[in-house]
Amino acid sequence: MEYRVLLAESDRLMLERLGQVVNDTPNFTLAAKFQNVSDALGQGTVFNPNLILLDIEQPGGMGLIDEFKKVYPTAAILCMGEKWQAENASHSVKAGAKGYIIKPFTGVELQETVDTFSRLGSEAGSETLVFFSPKGKSGKTTLIANLAMALARKTREPVGIIDADLQFGDMAVFFNLAPQTTIVEAVRDTKFLSPASLSSYYMPVAPNVSVLCGTKTPNMIDKVSIHRLENLIAMSRSLFRYILIDVPAGFNPTSIAAAEASTTTFVMSMINGGYEIDHMKRALDIFRDWEDMETRVKTIFTRVEPCDSRSKLELSQKLGYPVTEIIPNEYTIVSDAADKGKMATDIRPDSPLSRQVDRLADNIIGRQHRIRWAAS
Ligand SMILES: Nc1ncnc2c1ncn2[C@@H]1O[C@H](COP(=O)(O)OP(=O)(O)O)[C@@H](O)[C@H]1O
Ligand SMILES: [Mg+2]
**pLDDT tens digits along 65-100:** 999 999 999 999 999 988 766 677 777 777 788 888
Q: In what order do the strands lie in the sheet with 159-163?
A: 203-206, 209-212, 159-163, 242-246, 127-132, 264-270, 297-304, 325-328
Ligand nearest to the CA of 168: 2
CA of 138 to the centre of ligand 1 (A): 6
3-state SS class at 260? helix
Q: Is residue 302 within 6 Å of ligand 1 at its C-beta?
A: yes
Question: Given pLDDT bands bounded at 50, 70 and 90, which one contains residue 52?
Answer: very high
Does residue 184 or residue 161 have the better pLDDT? 161
Q: Is residue 140 within 6 Å of ligand 1 at its C-beta?
A: yes
pLDDT at 115: 81
Strand 28-34 to 242-246 pairing? unpaired
pLDDT at 372: 39
> pTM of this prediction?
0.79
Look up the CATH architecture of domain 3-120: 3-Layer(aba) Sandwich (3.40)
CA of 170 to the centre of ligand 2 (A): 6
Does residue 198 or residue 36 have the better pLDDT? 36
Contacts of 190 (CB under 8 A, 6+ apart): 84, 198, 228, 231, 232, 235
For the cut 60, the answer to whether the pLDDT of residue 137 exceeds it is yes
What is the rounded distance in angstroms from the CA atom of residue 92 to the CA atom of residue 238?
A: 12
Say which CATH class 124-371 falls into: alpha beta
**Domain locations along the chain:** 3-120, 124-371
Give the number of the atom of ligand 1 that is nearest the alpha carbon of residue 302.
1
Q: Is residue 137 within 6 Å of ligand 1 at its C-beta?
A: yes
Peptide bond into 104 cis (omega under 30): yes
Question: Given pLDDT bands bounded at 50, 70 and 90, which one contains residue 370?
Answer: very low
Strand 76-81 to 127-132 pairing? unpaired
* Mean pLDDT taken over the chain: 89
Domains 3-120 and 124-371 share a fold: yes
CA of 229 to the centre of ligand 1 (A): 25
Question: Given pLDDT bands bounded at 50, 70 and 90, which one contains residue 218?
Answer: low
Summarised one tens digit per residue, pLDDT across range 158-179 is 999 999 988 778 898 888 888 8
Both ends of the chain: CA-CA distance in Å? Answer: 44
Ligand nearest to the CA of 144: 1
Can you tell me the mean pLDDT for 352-356? 96
pLDDT at 90: 72
Q: In what order do the strands lie in the sheet with 51-55?
A: 28-34, 3-8, 51-55, 76-81, 99-102
Question: Given pLDDT bands bounded at 50, 70 and 90, which one contains residue 33?
Answer: very high
pLDDT at 188: 83
Summarised one tens digit per residue, pLDDT across range 233-280 is 988 988 899 999 999 999 999 999 999 999 999 999 999 988 999 999
Q: How many residues does the chain have?
A: 376
Strand partners, 132: 267
Q: What is the CA angle 236-136-230, rounded to 5?
A: 20
Contacts of 82 (CB under 8 A, 6+ apart): 57, 102, 103
243 phi and psi angles, rounded to 5 deg: -120, 125
